[in-house]
Amino acid sequence: MAWLETLVNGALLGGLYGLLGIGLALVFGVMRVVNIAHGEFMVLAAYFAVMLVSLFPHVHPLFVLLPVVLAAFAVGYLYQAAIVNRVVRAPDPLAPLLLTFGVSIVLRNLMVEVFGADVRALPLGELSRASINLFGLRIGVMPLLTLVASVLLFLLLQWGLKRTRFGRVVRATADRRDIVRLFGIKPDRVYNIVMGLSLALGAIGGVLLAVRSSFTPFSGVERLLIAFEVVVLGGLGSFWGALLGGIVLGMAQLAGLKWDPNAGLLYGHLLFFVMLLIRPAGLAANRA
Amino acid sequence: MSKGTLILYCAIAGALAIAPLVLGEGGLRFATECLLILSMAQMWNLLAGYAGLVSFGHQVFIGLGAYSLFLISDTFGISPYWVLPAAPLAGALVSAVIALPLFRLREAYFSIAMWVFAEIVAALVMKTSWLGGTAGLPLKSSQLLDVDWLEPVMFWIAAVLAMGSIGGLYLLMRSSFGLGLMSVRDNDLAAMSVGVDVQKNRFIVFVLSAAGCGLAGAVSFLGNLYISPLAAFDVNWVVYMMFIVMIGGIGTLEGPVIGTIIFFGLRELMTSQLGLSGGWYLVALGTIGVAVMLLSPRGLWPPLRDRFGLQLLAVGRKAPSPLAPTALTEKAGSLG
């Protein structure tokens, strides 16, 4: 029973991991750029949330999510407009990789200098301890809410990309950035919005993860690696694959931690590597 | 290599040979560090600049090389100097094995998977008690070393490594293998069509760069006489290598030399002269790296070279000259 509880909790955590991955996957899918600084932006959002909570102690911590997400969108828009757009068109595919890596180093060390290297957390009071009893399993309310929120966001994003005009524009830009210009669309502006959305999703993930466990300026690395593993496990470019990948990764991590309490992310990483060997196309891929 | 460059190369080698007699202890340590970081940067440059593989996990080879040196030397009580060849072997062996799964991935996916691999190895080492766990290991066999000679010998090894990596890479790039490599980098489809084995080339370069990093890592920690997993598998190793290559000029042999000078110049300026912390130094270094990437994507060396017409270690070749156009028109005239 204890193991079942671990697996269920792992699946709940996995919903959150899926959310980390989807932001990374969105940017990669649209502009073929892996934003190495994604993890650092998540941690930055968490610091912003902690700051807001201490500034407005009477507001419920979950309400700070709104300003944090809006700020993350703005930061993403500017980041893309000022920096990433300059290398997206570079013939060398390494340029965006090196550039975003450089940005991640700058952000990480700025956070160390500004916020200090201490461990921080986002306390939620009652809610973070509350749990419900489901068929004899103790399930935390907050992890459950997190999973529900992740699934809703996945649905919303998928609907937005499939059914709205903006979604069509994004997909068209992803396919042929040179052709969409003929229809009066500026690809750079589409990219700005996509990066904004990506960091907004990352901010939700970053804040919710900060509620679950403490963080430091160095947490960006593990957040990025989780996001990346989720995307590869799920199969590149597959939305629901990312959620599935997140759930598998979450289960592996919590099961590993139960067996070996100071393992950290080791078992998640190992699972990723084994999967890379036996199913390089990802979990969700049914074609060879 | 032009005659001038050859003379310059030999002059630098000679200067390095007698440097321990001139430099004080602190200066020698600093110079050793510069030369080791330069060697590592050249190895990373070999992989990224000539084979198009960006690794964010090369710290794993530095750590593996250093740990293999400590372990073998302590276990068998052999002088660490004699164990040094084991370090590049460890790097080469591990890289050859992990190339198998990693080479299925391209570009950013390779880069980050490499990083994940480095994290796995670091976590496993930290959990292994006979490797010292998180606390690390002292070099017990250090009693076999002559303490007075340690600093100069370390410096000479580092100098051989740095000069060897530059000279060796130059010769490699001038060989037919190097030509194949650069053709893959410039146009892989065209290279494959003339029979260049892309995967094999990438594999060889990957193993070479892992071996070089293993050796440089071993020398680096031999100088400390102490190793800890957090230092050995620190992601900052790759950060240093990458910024040096990025700022100096990726895919050139001169670039990393310029990058190393800027790297250490900035560090001395910020941490020693201005008394700022290492964090601010990395912020400044990263900002310079990003700025160079945006303003001069090929790094600082290529524009300098073109501006002043410098030719130091150029490995490019001139295409064989085709028939002169006048001869062609004459031929056409006689035919028509």
Q: Where are the domains of chain B?
A: 3-235
> Which residues does chain A have with pLDDT short of 70?
1, 236-237, 280-288
Rounded CA separation A229/A98 (Å): 19
pLDDT of residue B325: 56
Residue contacts between A and B (CB atoms, under 8 Å): 116
Torsion of CA B302, B303, B307, B308, to 10 degrees: -40
Residue of A nearest to B299 (CA): A95
Which of B111, B127, B290 is the closest to A102 by Cβ? B290
Average pLDDT over residues B14-34: 83
CB contact at 8 A, B260 and B38: yes
CB contact (8 A) between residue A224 and residue B112: yes
CB proximity list for B274: less than 8 A, separation 6 or greater? none
CA distance B159 to A177: 49
What integer is the mean pLDDT of B167-189?
84
- Retrieve residue A12's tokens: 């709940």
Cα A258 from Cα A252, distance rounded (Å): 10
The reply to whether residue B107 touches residue A97, judged by beta carbons under 8 angstroms, is yes
How high is the pLDDT of residue A287?
Answer: 40
Give the residue on B whose Cα is nearest the Cα of A266: B120
Q: Would the pLDDT of B36 be above 90? A: yes
Select the residue of A94, A102, A109 nearest B52 (Cβ to Cβ): A94
Q: Kindly give, in sequence order, each residue whose CB lies less than 8 Å from that of residue B140, ignoring residues fewer than 6 positions away.
A: B74
Distance from CA of B276 to the nearest CA of A (A): 10
Q: Which residues of A touch B108 (CB under 8 A)?
A: 28, 34, 36, 93, 97
pLDDT of B55 above 70 = yes
> Do the Cβ atoms of B242 and A83 come within 8 Å?
no
Of B250, B213, B203, the closest CA to residue B101 belongs to: B203
* C-alpha distance from A234 to closest chain B C-alpha (Å): 14
- Per-residue pLDDT at B93 exceeds 90: yes
B76 contacts: CB under 8 Å, gap ≥ 6: none
Q: A123: closest CA among A36, A243, A210?
A: A210
Residues of A in CB contact (< 8 Å) with B are: 28, 34, 36, 83, 86-87, 90, 92-95, 97-99, 101-103, 105-106, 108-110, 112-113, 221, 224-225, 228-229, 232, 236, 260, 262-266, 269-270, 272-273, 276-277, 280
User: What's the pLDDT at B39?
Assistant: 94
Question: Running DSSP on this structure, what letter comes out for residue B310?
Answer: -
pLDDT tens for each residue of B240-271: 999 999 999 888 888 899 999 999 998 888 88
pLDDT at residue B56 tops 70: yes
DSSP alpha helix (H) spans, chain B:
3-22, 25-45, 51, 59-76, 80-83, 86-102, 107-127, 147-174, 176-186, 188-193, 198-224, 229-232, 236-248, 255-267, 278-295, 301-308, 325-335
Shortest Cα distance from A40 to chain B (angstroms)?
Answer: 14
CA–CA distance, A180 with A238 (Å, rounded to integer): 23
Q: What is the pLDDT of residue A201?
A: 93
Task: Answer yes or no: do B293 and A99 touch at CB < 8 A.
Answer: yes
Q: How distant is the Cα of B16 from the closest Cα of chain A, in angstroms?
A: 33
The Cα of B294 is separated from the nearest Cα of chain A by a number of Å equal to: 7
**Dihedral angle computed from the Cα positions of residues B244, B250, B252 and B254, in that order, rounded to the nearest 10 degrees:** -20
- Rounded CA-CA distance B278/B297 in Å is 26
- Find the CB nearest A225 among B119, B127, B246: B119
Nearest CA to CA, how far is B259 from chain A (Å)? 15
- Choose between A260 and B209: higher pLDDT: B209
Residues 6+ away with beta carbon under 8 Å from B171: none
Mean pLDDT across B100-124 = 86
Contacts of B111 in chain A (CB under 8 A): 34, 97
- pLDDT of amino acid B329: 58
User: Given pLDDT bands bounded at 50, 70 and 90, which one contains residue B111?
Assistant: confident
Interchain proximity B286–A228, CB inside 8 Å: no
pTM assigned to the model: 0.88
How far, in Å, are B130, B225, B230 from residue B135 at the CA level? 11, 14, 9
Q: How far apart are CA A233 and CA A278, in angstroms?
A: 11
Mean pLDDT (whole number) for B55-68: 93
Distance CA A191, CA A196 (A): 8
